[in-house]
């Protein structure tokens, strides 16, 4: 078969699928999206006309818009998200499972006729730089122009992606409809063995932008295991030292735990004067693959930021704030009297309209912006955007960092002894829940590698896959754990956080280069307070003790809980991890 014939047959498969979906959903029209400015302008005009978008202040926020979602459709719905594998154990206890045939039948009944009176949009996209061998393509079929506009920002969407699909033939199929936005008719189904996603009844980003969590993590983690790479819920940042050397760090934190803040960190003034610089590759997802030299190389499969608005301010994240001054879609934020977007933590102004579009009553004690309100913006709008973000080969990773919200026990930073210990550190990660998912906030739960809602297969197999990278010739990154959220007895945070987290990153890089000391403890290498540059940071005696100390009794209890947690995965749990936990507690 000639290349031309192969390309034609690859497109035939896509055309056939689109035809089958159209026959099921009965749209009024079909639009193949090319990602052009003209197409986007027409979609925006259409959404302004029907009220899907509201134009914001053109002087302060040019080409920026507000979208208000249905009040019952404001976050990921983990309890309605399923992984549909033939063998239930392949999905694992970390996922809700449904038999593929039953799931398809259920979704078919929901999709039947659901696009009557609507347009079916065909959205070809590439996750990762368009010419990178690490990238993977997908096609999302949706009836939401809001989804199309967001996918254009979040992925490399349109003609170039379609051309790559024509060449390669392989793509992830994503079918989405907002349906009636009925919470009782809302499901997100993943079929990893068929590289397919079906999502019905939600317009919220994590449920509807199928390139994001659904493809880039749940389906990609399955692909990565089969193909020998890692798809992770991690930011990627570059740190350039005064000598002009750049190290890259990948870091995993649960949603709304400061990932975007760290990815766009601005070093303290003293560091900036000395010549330290931070560059941003990505703030949410990282795909890593071993290179020819044995190091792990990473790309950010996304092209934009879908960031949490509340708490984003000039103090917490000036780079994020600068990124969203133009060409931004805001979702579920409040609005000021001069039609600017507003959220809690931004400044002292009082908005006039809340996230539901109703007059804001400051006395009601209700937040004006939804706690999980979002902004969607191209990564290229970020002042710290890395010139290497589009490198086809990716960037080499020097350190992997795990972290969560822990008010007690867990110190500011520690380094794992080796790769196996580091995988255990990631597997045992715990964090207090936030508003990014439905359910109670502030509850401690295990969230291995920040992947609990996103790993597309059995966690025990996932841990085994991580362990498999430790082999002859591998030059693996050092693994660290951080906790910016340690509190004192009075309930206040003990570490200033934000830009001062640079001080912890510097210690990590010195450890990578063999230039910093540490204290050996059962949980790993801890810095002494003097190992970290604390110039200008005033820490109380309590802060020094709790941020840099090791609580033997507390950790003994913690490791008991970790052991119980690992047992939940049964016989598939790798012995190396079980033995590592026992070794630490001996």
C-alpha separations of 120 from 52, 116, 177, 202 in Å: 17, 9, 9, 16
57 is in an annotated binding site: no
CB 232 within 8 A of CB 289: no
206 is in an annotated binding site: yes
373 is in an annotated binding site: yes
Q: How many residues would you count in the chain? A: 586
**397-502-408-563 Cα dihedral, nearest 10 degrees:** 10
365 is in an annotated binding site: no
- Residue 54, exposed/middle/buried by CB under 10 A (0-12, 13-18, 19+)? middle
372 is in an annotated binding site: yes
579 is in an annotated binding site: no
- How does DSSP classify residue 500? G
261 is in an annotated binding site: yes
In a 13 Å sphere around the CA of 539, the CA atoms on its Cβ side amount to: 25
Please identify which of the residues 33, 257, 286, 382 carries the catalytic annotation: 257
User: Helix or strand or coil: residue 138?
Assistant: strand
CB 420 within 8 A of CB 580: yes
233 is in an annotated binding site: yes
Give the angle 561-562-565 at the CA atoms, nearest 5°. 90
Helix (H) or strand (E) segment spanning residue 376: strand 374-378
213 is in an annotated binding site: yes
Please give the Cα distance from 172 to 329 (Å, whole number).
Answer: 26
258 is in an annotated binding site: yes
User: Helix or strand or coil: residue 528?
Assistant: coil
452 is in an annotated binding site: no
Nearest to residue 228, comparing CAs of 131, 126, 296? Answer: 296
CB 523 within 8 A of CB 450: no
State the DSSP string of 28-58: SEEEE----HHHHHHHHHHHHHHTSSEE--T
222 is in an annotated binding site: no
490 is in an annotated binding site: no
Please give the Cα distance from 299 to 231 (Å, whole number).
Answer: 10
498 is in an annotated binding site: yes
Specify whether 257 is catalytic.
yes
339 is in an annotated binding site: no
Please give the Cα distance from 198 to 189 (Å, whole number).
Answer: 5
The alpha carbon of 69 is separated from its chain's Cα centroid by a whole number of angstroms, namely 21
Q: Which residue has the tokens 């934009």?
A: 304
Contact residues for 509 (Cβ-Cβ < 8 A; gap 6+): 239, 241, 247, 398, 399
305 is in an annotated binding site: no
Structure tokens at 490: 């009075």
Please give the Cα distance from 451 to 463 (Å, whole number).
Answer: 11
Please give the Cα distance from 279 to 325 (Å, whole number).
Answer: 19
In a 13 Å sphere around the CA of 315, the CA atoms on its Cβ side amount to: 8
Helix (H) or strand (E) segment spanning residue 154: helix 145-154
501 is in an annotated binding site: yes
Give the angle 328-255-569 at the CA atoms, nearest 5°. 145
C-alpha separations of 448 from 64, 428, 444, 454 in Å: 36, 6, 13, 10
111 is in an annotated binding site: no
Q: Which residues fall in the annotated binding site for substrate?
A: 76, 204-206, 255, 372-374
Active-site residue list: 257
Annotated binding-site ranges for Mn(2+): 213, 233, 284
Annotated binding site for GTP: 256-261, 374, 405, 498-501
């Amino acid at each position: 078969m000639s290349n031309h014939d192969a390309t034609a047959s690859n497109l035939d498969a896509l055309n056939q699928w689109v035809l089958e979906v159209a026959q099921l959903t009965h749209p009024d029209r079909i639009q193949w999206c090319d990602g052009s400015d003209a197409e986007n302008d027409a979609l925006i005009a259409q959404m302004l006309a029907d009220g899907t978008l509201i134009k914001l202040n053109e002087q302060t926020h040019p080409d920026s818009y507000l979208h208000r979602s249905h009040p019952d459709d404001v976050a990921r719905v983990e309890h309605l998200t399923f992984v549909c594998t033939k063998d239930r154990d392949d999905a694992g206890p970390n996922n809700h499972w449904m038999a593929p045939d039953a799931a398809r039948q259920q979704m078919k009944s929901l999709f039947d006729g659901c696009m009557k009176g609507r347009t079916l949009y065909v959205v070809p996209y590439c996750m990762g730089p368009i010419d990178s061998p690490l990238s993977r393509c997908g096609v999302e079929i949706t009836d939401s122009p809001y989804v199309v506009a967001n996918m254009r920002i979040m992925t490399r969407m349109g003609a170039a992606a379609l051309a790559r699909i024509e060449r390669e033939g392989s793509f992830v199929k994503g079918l989405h409809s907002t349906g009636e936005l009925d919470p009782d008719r809302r499901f997100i189904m993943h079929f990893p063995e068929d590289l397919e996603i079906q999502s019905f009844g939600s317009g919220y980003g994590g449920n509807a932008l199928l390139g994001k969590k659904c493809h880039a993590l749940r389906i990609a983690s399955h692909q990565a295991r089969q193909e020998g790479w890692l798809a992770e819920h991690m930011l990627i940042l570059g740190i350039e030292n005064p000598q002009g050397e750049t190290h890259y760090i990948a870091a995993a934190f649960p949603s709304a735990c400061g990932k975007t803040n760290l990815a766009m960190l601005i070093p303290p003034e003293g560091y900036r004067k000395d010549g330290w610089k931070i560059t941003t590759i990505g703030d949410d997802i990282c795909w890593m693959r071993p290179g020819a030299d044995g190091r792990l190389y990473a790309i950010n499969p996304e092209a934009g930021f879908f960031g949490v608005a509340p708490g984003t301010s000039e103090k917490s994240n000036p780079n994020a704030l600068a990124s969203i001054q133009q060409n931004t879609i805001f979702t579920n934020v409040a609005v000021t009297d001069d039609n600017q977007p507003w959220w809690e933590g931004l400044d002292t102004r009082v908005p006039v309209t809340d996230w539901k579009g109703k007059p804001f009553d400051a006395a009601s004690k209700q937040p004006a912006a939804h706690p999980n309100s979002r902004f969607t913006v191209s990564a290229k709008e970020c002042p710290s955007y890395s010139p290497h973000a589009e490198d086809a080969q990716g960037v080499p990773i020097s350190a992997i960092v795990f972290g969560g919200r822990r008010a007690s026990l867990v110190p500011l930073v520690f380094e794992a002894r080796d790769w196996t210990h580091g995988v255990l550190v990631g597997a045992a990660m715990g964090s207090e829940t936030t508003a990014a998912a439905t359910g109670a906030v502030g509850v401690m739960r295990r969230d291995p590698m920040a992947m609990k809602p996103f790993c597309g297969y059995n966690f025990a197999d996932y841990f085994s896959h991580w362990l498999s990278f430790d082999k002859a010739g591998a030059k693996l990154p050092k693994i660290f754990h951080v906790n910016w959220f340690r509190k004192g007895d009075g309930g206040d945070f003990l570490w200033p956080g934000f830009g001062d987290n640079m001080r912890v990153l510097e210690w990590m890089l010195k450890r990578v280069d063999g230039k910093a000391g540490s204290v050996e403890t059962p949980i790993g290498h801890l810095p002494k307070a003097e190992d970290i540059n604390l110039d200008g940071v005033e820490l109380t005696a309590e802060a020094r003790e709790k941020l840099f100390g090791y609580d033997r009794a507390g950790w003994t209890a913690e490791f008991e809980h970790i052991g119980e947690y690992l047992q939940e995965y049964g016989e598939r749990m790798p012995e190396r991890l079980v033995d590592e936990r026992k070794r630490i507690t001996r």
